[in-house]
Amino acid sequence: MASRLEIDFGQPEGFRPLSLDLRVPEVAGDACAPLVVFLHGGGFLRGSRKVFTPGIDAADSFDRIVAAGIAVASCEYRLSGEARFPAQLADVDAAIGWLQEHGAQHGVDASRLVLWGVSAGATIAALTGLRRRDVRGVVDWFGPTDLFAMAEHPTGERPEETREARWIGRPAAELPERAREASPALQVHASAPPFHIAHGTDDEHVPISQSEAFAAALDGAGVPVEFSRVAGGRHFWQAVPDTAPLFDRAIEFVRRVAVEG
């Protein structure tokens, strides 16, 4: 049976402690499992490390990954009401640093690291993968990738009230350099790790064009990228009757880049 630990991995000065939930599969002998660092969604302003995706329980998400022989560290990061970009990248770095230092004590091989994020968490995962050299791959599920294009997406909110504007501090047009730095599609480079991207065709919150542009940028830079268009899928896989194949394809990617690669 897999073990599950709740661990405080850091406390940014002046902020609350940040925690992660570490689930580790049983492995033979002294072997250590490859690692997924998971980052939750919630528009940068809400969400919980306890929930993989709203509407999908732990047995069909976290436990499914662990059953494939892969450890999962579901990590907190500061929300936009607590700290603005790039604080979240520092939080993920702190979590990875803790896992690299202490993971082997818990049966985790943090040198075989894949990031997996959903929605806002996918943006943070993608940015982290693009700026580090110790990440073997990134699973990006329906994450915003271009804050300038997202600012044009109708939400019914004032420009300064959108999720992305709250995250970086102002609308993208008013903070263009910061918006560019916070946009994975605008940070692509040839040495980026492989990506697995999946996005629903009917996503009203983050349009599929965000992932289409990101996949095209990665492919144009020569970065290995898998892109799945999920017919009829809405945000957080609403309207998808069976998410098991989506998990299986992502898990196969993780195994290929972290275990076999």
What's the pLDDT score for residue 174?
Answer: 97
What's the pLDDT score for residue 2?
Answer: 66
The residue with tokens 């897999």 is 2
Domain coordinates of the chain in residue numbers? 18-260
What's the pLDDT score for residue 26?
Answer: 87
Classify the phi-psi angles of 145: left when phi > 0, otherwise alpha if psi is within -120 to 50, otherwise beta.
Answer: alpha
Could you write out the DSSP letters of every residue in 70-134?
-EEEEE----TTT--TTHHHHHHHHHHHHHHHHGGGGTEEEEEEEEEEETHHHHHHHHHHHH-SS
Strands 71-75, 18-24: pairing is: antiparallel
Cβ density class 156-182: b for 16+ within 10 Å, e for less: eeeeeebbbbbbbeebbeebeebbebb
What's the pLDDT score for residue 108?
Answer: 96
Instruction: State pTM to two decimals.
Output: 0.97
What's the pLDDT score for residue 31?
Answer: 86
Segment-wise mean pLDDT, segments of 10 residues, the chain, 261 residues: 84 94 87 96 97 95 96 98 97 98 96 98 98 98 98 89 97 98 98 98 97 98 98 97 97 93 65
What's the pLDDT score for residue 261?
Answer: 65
Contact call for residues 164 and 151 (beta carbons, < 8 A): yes
For domain 18-260, the CATH class is: alpha beta
Tokens of 51: 């929930």
